[in-house]
């Protein structure tokens, strides 16, 4: 930490995000059905944790709001652990204001309408229960909504299994975020749960296919692009 402080002092240009606050979400959410059952989304959390670490390495103050995964907080990152989408939204609101929001979490779109406080019993011969679902809060859309607390740059993620670039571009427009990092999570790609990622970056200028690389390299590239966005803003001002 001392070495890092000296390094930052000697090489201020290596910390282009100094003075910026970045909010990053990562991991899945778990939506309880009863005390022993839940609905979940697949997400290792690795890509979000790497992005949090890469932004911190560029000098940003980073708050990482993470669903249930078993990863250590990257150096210099403040970690807030949550379980459900509602808790994740609350933790994000608490973390504002932020200059940057990167929503890498795989938030469950739905939760069960009524969480049972006791374990639902399997009745002999009775038909299985039907799970009535209700929509979860849309964290990316809420963070993207214009207003005094909107981060200057909001980046969403889109995990798709078909028509990746089209679905992602439509998502960017629908959510009102600035960029979308899209990837193809069909099981045969091995990306979900794996160490590598192959993404398309969707911005107002169009779609940019990045080569397949490990998740740390994707994070470093993305953090570099984010730093360039703020450096460009600074030069204009």
Q: Active-site positions?
A: 41
| CA pair distance 224, 7, nearest whole angstrom | 19
The answer to whether the beta carbons of residues 64 and 49 sit under 8 Å apart is yes
Interface pick for a second copy out of 6, 14, 18, 40 (rule CB under 8 A) = 40
Nearer to a second copy among residue 100 and residue 191 (C-beta): 191
Interface pick for a second copy out of 6, 18, 134, 152 (rule CB under 8 A) = 134
For residues 52-66, one letter each, b for 16 or more C-beta atoms within 10 angstroms of the residue's C-beta and e for the rest, the string is bbbbbbbbbbbbbbb
Residues 72, 77, 81: CA angle, nearest 5 degrees: 60
Which residues in the 67-96 window bind a second copy by CB under 8 A?
A: 70
220: left (phi over 0), alpha (psi -120 to 50) or beta: alpha
Nearer to a second copy among residue 150 and residue 171 (C-beta): 171
Nearer to a second copy among residue 41 and residue 86 (C-beta): 41
Closest residue by Cα to residue 202 from 162, 173, 163: 173
| CA pair distance 171, 195, nearest whole angstrom | 25
Nearer to a second copy among residue 82 and residue 153 (C-beta): 82
CA count, 13 A, side-chain hemisphere, 55: 30
Interface pick for a second copy out of 73, 86, 87, 186 (rule CB under 8 A) = 186
Interface pick for a second copy out of 15, 20, 22, 38 (rule CB under 8 A) = 38
Contact range with a second copy by CB under 8 A, out of 84-92, 101-109, 203-211, 221-229: 101-109
Does residue 37 bind a second copy (CB under 8 A)?
A: yes
User: Phi and psi of 203, rounded to 5°?
Assistant: -125, -175
The CA dihedral of 33, 34, 36, 39, to the nearest 10 degrees, is 10
Interface pick for a second copy out of 97, 187, 190, 194 (rule CB under 8 A) = 187
Contact range with a second copy by CB under 8 A, out of 4-12, 45-53, 126-134, 197-205: 126-134
The set of residues, in sequence order, having a beta carbon less than 8 Å from that of 10 and lying 6+ positions away, is: none
Interface pick for a second copy out of 23, 52, 88, 185 (rule CB under 8 A) = 185
Nearer to a second copy among residue 9 and residue 118 (C-beta): 118
- β 100-103/153-160 pair status: parallel
Interface pick for a second copy out of 2, 10, 132, 204 (rule CB under 8 A) = 132
Does residue 192 bind a second copy (CB under 8 A)?
A: yes
66's tokens: 């993470």
- Residues of this chain that interact with a second copy (CB under 8 A) are 30, 33, 35-42, 70, 106, 108-110, 118-119, 121-122, 124, 128-135, 159-162, 167, 174, 185-187, 192
């Amino acid at each position: 930490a001392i070495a890092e402080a000296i390094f930052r002092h000697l090489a201020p240009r290596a910390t282009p995000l100094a003075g910026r606050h970045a909010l990053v979400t990562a991991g899945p959410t778990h939506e309880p059905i009863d005390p022993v059952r839940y609905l979940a989304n697949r997400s290792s959390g690795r890509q979000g944790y790497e992005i949090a670490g890469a932004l911190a390495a560029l000098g940003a103050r980073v708050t990482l709001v993470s669903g249930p995964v078993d990863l250590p907080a990257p150096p210099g990152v403040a970690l807030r652990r949550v379980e459900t989408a509602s808790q994740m939204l609350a933790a994000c609101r608490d973390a504002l204001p932020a200059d940057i929001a990167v929503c890498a979490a795989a938030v469950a779109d739905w939760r069960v309408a009524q969480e049972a406080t006791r374990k639902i019993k399997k009745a002999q011969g009775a038909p299985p229960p039907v799970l009535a679902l209700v929509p979860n809060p849309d964290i990316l859309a809420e963070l993207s909504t214009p207003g005094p607390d909107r981060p200057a740059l909001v980046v969403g993620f889109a995990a798709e299994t078909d028509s990746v670039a089209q679905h992602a571009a439509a998502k960017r427009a629908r959510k009102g975020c600035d960029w979308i990092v899209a990837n193809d999570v069909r099981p045969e790609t091995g990306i979900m749960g794996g160490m590598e990622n192959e993404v398309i970056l969707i911005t107002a200028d169009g779609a940019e296919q990045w080569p397949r690389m490990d998740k740390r390299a994707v994070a470093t590239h993305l953090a570099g692009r984010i730093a360039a966005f703020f450096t460009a803003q600074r030069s204009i001002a």
